[in-house]
Amino acid sequence: MATKAQVLYDFTAEPGNNELSVREGETITITNQSIGGGWIEAQNSRGEIGLVPEDYVEVRITDRPKGTLGHKLWKLGSCSLSLTACNGNDPWAVFDNNASGGFSNNWAAQPEGTETGKNSSNAWGSTSYGHPQAYQGPGAEDDEWDDEWDERKSSGYTEGETGEGGAITRGGAHGSSMKIIGEVGPVWEYPDSQLDCVVADPKKGSKMYGLKSYIEYQVSPNTTNRPVNHRYKHFDWLYERLLEKFGSAIPIPSLPDKQVTGRFEEEFIKMRMERLQAWMTRMCRHPVVANSEVFQLFLNYKDEKDWKTGKRKAEKDETVGVMIFSTIEPEGLPDLELLEVEQKCEQFSRFTKAMDDGVKDLLTVGHEHWKRCTGPLPKEYQRIGKALQNLSSVFTSSGYEGEATLTDAMTAAGKTYEEIAQMVAEQPKKDLHFLMETNNEYKGLLGCFPDTIGVHKAAIEKVKEADKLVATNKITTTEKVTMGKRASTMSYALQAEMNHFHSNRIYDYNRVMQLYLEQQVKFYETIAEKLRHAHSQFTTM
């Protein structure tokens, strides 16, 4: 049966690239869904066949897999990360209804004794978090995986091979647990020197005998200054691993979206690189993420073999989902009462919700302002400039003596307003852009909190049920105590994460507001200076 798909966005084929131009709303027939690299082959109603970005089309499938939290169910047609608010996909809605749904059979509900058991991976590790890919076996649909990824299917690699890799990974990053230190409230253990990296030097490469081309970025960590190459899909792979592993405890923001017109346009590449940089910087800044084996692999792999081995190992990591909490040590901190756990959780939930609203509001306002600054406002200044110049040239035609001083000055004033028009149109890229990017990042981060908080709420509910479970002999009193301890650990993790979030937030907003205002000051000063010069050309009377 031919799979039909609906085109969601206009896409213009790049000449000589085997691509197919499609228009929003058009229905196309998918002729090959296994092209990979984010592309599908499709045929339009005129019989033309070519490649189309899979993000640009929505395949008409009605039966979706159950039991997931509803995010990124289908790569095809996922919601845009553009400047507009992403309606109909409000993560807070998930929070209200489904958040605790996936939390049955988890770490917090398990008795202490079995925690270190190597063969309990079903009970411990199966509640992977948030991303459906984690639930799908190697046989599941995986359009995202091409070339070296395909090896996974064909190399004879099986579940049985994972033994020692899983064991090493289980202990957490580099074999040590994540520590929470409690002197000024719970905080993650921060390294002495801050990891950082530079994403730069995008280069176009090609594969499939030149059929498809892609962009490769150089990623250079400040620890080695040795660049490694990564394509967008490698970043995406890293994102999946981090989400799977840390998503229950740490908000892992989505990568910049793929749905931007003109995959190889310079502007798009620049924008994507800038956003990948921002994403990597944020990940580097997080002590837990930055210190993780998978993240270190991404930054420091020595060669292709090292990368592939590391990749397989990371994919077999069993310390994922709520299991991550088993690696957390609230060092020297007393167990928390359930009430306090609950209060903290509520407090963070309220704050992140309120900030999410605030950020979205600012984004909406900023988007409106951007549109005005690049659309009607400069047009108006241009028209003022033209009208003044036009009147000046009428004056010149008067034939009256002594006209020149006025007409020269009026023409100069008119040109000044045309210059101002251009300045106004270009200004958002110099200031509003960064304010918007930062707020977009925070929108992404905040969108992760409902799930993170949902995990905690579910754990709290479990602990609340514990008495009943003891009474009906479902669990022992010891197991009940363990559950309480674990909820306490989870709460410390959440508090550490919130403190991490707050400190970063203060840093980021302070920085971006300074940048914004600095550029705004320059902007208005330059306009004033230009107008002062225009003014000086009129004769004083």
Residue positions forming the annotated binding site: 231, 233, 272
For residue 262, which of 465, 455, 98, 17 has the smallest C-alpha distance?
A: 17
Helix (H) or strand (E) holding 307: helix 304-315
Q: How far is the CB of 416 from a second copy (least distance, A)?
A: 9
3-class secondary-structure state, position 181: strand
CA dist 218 and 221 (Å) reads: 10
Q: How far is the CB of 381 from a second copy (least distance, A)?
A: 8
Q: How far is the CB of 374 from a second copy (least distance, A)?
A: 13
What letter would DSSP give residue 183? Answer: B
Q: Which CB, 292 or 452, lies closer to a second copy? A: 452
What letter would DSSP give residue 11? Answer: B
Q: Which CB, 137 or 402, lies closer to a second copy? A: 402
Q: How far is the CB of 80 from a second copy (least distance, A)?
A: 22
Q: Which CB, 10 or 525, lies closer to a second copy? A: 525
Q: How far is the CB of 429 from a second copy (least distance, A)?
A: 17
Q: How far is the CB of 415 from a second copy (least distance, A)?
A: 13
Helices (DSSP H) in 210-303: which residue ranges?
Answer: 232-246, 266-285, 287-290, 293-300
Q: Which CB, 209 or 400, lies closer to a second copy? A: 400
Q: Which CB, 95 or 214, lies closer to a second copy? A: 95
130 contacts 451 by C-beta, under 8 angstroms: yes
What is the 3-state secondary structure of 363-377? HHHHHHHHHHHHCHH
Chain contacts with a second copy (rule: CB under 8 A): 184, 347, 350-351, 354-355, 357-359, 361-362, 365-366, 368-369, 372, 376-377, 380, 383-384, 386-388, 390-391, 394-395, 397-403, 405-406, 409-410, 413, 499, 502-503, 505-507, 509-511, 513-514, 517-518, 520-521, 524-525, 527-528, 531-532, 534-535, 538-541
Q: Which CB, 104 or 514, lies closer to a second copy? A: 514
Q: In the structure encoding, which two tokens stand for residue 1, read together?
A: 């049966």
Q: Which CB, 323 or 498, lies closer to a second copy? A: 498
Neighbours of 251 (CB within 10 A): 23
Torsion 505-510-515-521 (CA) sign: positive
Q: In the structure encoding, which two tokens stand for residue 53, read together?
A: 């970005």
Q: Are strands 178-181 and 328-331 parallel, antiparallel or unpaired?
A: parallel
266 contacts 272 by C-beta, under 8 angstroms: no
Q: Which CB, 105 or 364, lies closer to a second copy? A: 364
Q: How far is the CB of 90 from a second copy (least distance, A)?
A: 18
Backbone angles phi, psi at 45, to 5 degrees: -65, -20
494 contacts 345 by C-beta, under 8 angstroms: yes
CA dist 369 and 383 (Å) reads: 20
Q: How far is the CB of 408 from a second copy (least distance, A)?
A: 11
CA dist 331 and 3 (Å) reads: 55
Alpha carbons within 13 angstroms on the beta-carbon side of residue 301 total: 20
Give DSSP secondary structure letters for 515-538.
Answer: HHHHHHHHHHHHHHHHHHHHHHTS
Q: How far is the CB of 441 from a second copy (least distance, A)?
A: 14
CA dist 116 and 138 (Å) reads: 27
Q: Which CB, 111 or 182, lies closer to a second copy? A: 182
